[in-house]
Amino acid sequence: MKQKKIRTVTEYFIFFMLYSVIGWIYEVFLEVVVYRWGFSNRGVLFGPYCIIYGFGAVILILSLSWLQRRRIYAGRLLVTPFLVFIGIVVITTVVELIGSYIMEFTTGEWLWDYRRFAFNFEGRIALNPSIRFGIGGMIFLYGLQPLFRRLCVRLSDRAVSIAGAFLAVVFLIDIICTYFIF
């Protein structure tokens, strides 16, 4: 039983790191290809990850998996995906708002500014990005996460432990280098 709990926590840490990297790639893609602003590291650490995406992904998995598995109808219409989408929008917006305050408290600023968007709050959150996060969250919850979960299930306990330990060491070294050396 204890080994199963350790494996579950390790898997969630692997998912956290995986989605942090995917979030970083998404942010850099937007900055370089879509907006043509040029490259900059979009994370708060040296490595190629945006940890807010990792936290958001894990929070979505933990909070919406039960809803995603349910089949809720309004008449004959299946509304579960719509409810999941609304949940994603609300949760990611709250995560982004809290993340902006944490970043401002720890670094004096946050990494985004939504003042150019309508329906924004202090430039920290806005309707347009929240809808995009909802769409991305649907792709993540219904497409990527089931795939990554199946891949993770195929790995032995030892492989999961080694991968988790390796990622934890890399992450810890990055935190130390970012905040205490550089």
Per residue of the chain (182 residues), what is the pLDDT tens digit?
899 999 999 999 999 999 999 999 998 998 888 877 777 777 778 889 999 999 999 999 999 999 999 999 999 999 999 999 999 999 999 999 999 999 999 889 888 899 999 999 999 999 999 999 999 999 999 999 999 999 999 999 999 999 999 999 999 999 999 888 86
3-class DSSP assignment, residue 137 = helix
Distance, in Å, from the CA atom of 28 to the CA atom of 150, rounded to the nearest integer, reads 28
Query: Is the pTM for the entire model greater than 0.75?
Result: yes
Which residue ranges make up each domain of the chain?
2-172
